[in-house]
Amino acid sequence: MAPPRTRANLLAAMKHLKPREAHDLLADNPPLRQSLQLRAPYIDPLNHLQVELLKRHRAGETDERVARGIHLTINGIASGLRNSG
């Protein structure tokens, strides 16, 4: 658990954050919103695979294929989002 001072700072900061509804996301940028919606069916499976591989890695699995899979999912997601990092 976070130290009391850190937790108090976090709670104070959270009061200033305005929650957004899912339908409001990217409302001001329809082309980007549509582009991300079209890519989601291809990127979502990579996200799920990456989560599983990261769990295995953090659990101490040292198989080189796990590390390679993590790197491949990072590159695949970045490519799918048209981003280099």
Instruction: Annotate 41-64 with b (16+ C-beta within 10 A) or e (fewer).
Output: eebeebeebbeebeebeeeeeeee
> Six-digit token pair at 14?
């959270």
pLDDT for the residue numbered 83: 64
pLDDT in tens, 7-31: 888 888 887 777 767 677 788 888 8
Is residue 52 classed as helix, strand or coil in its secondary structure?
Answer: helix
Structure-model confidence comparison of residues 67 and 33, the more confident one? 67
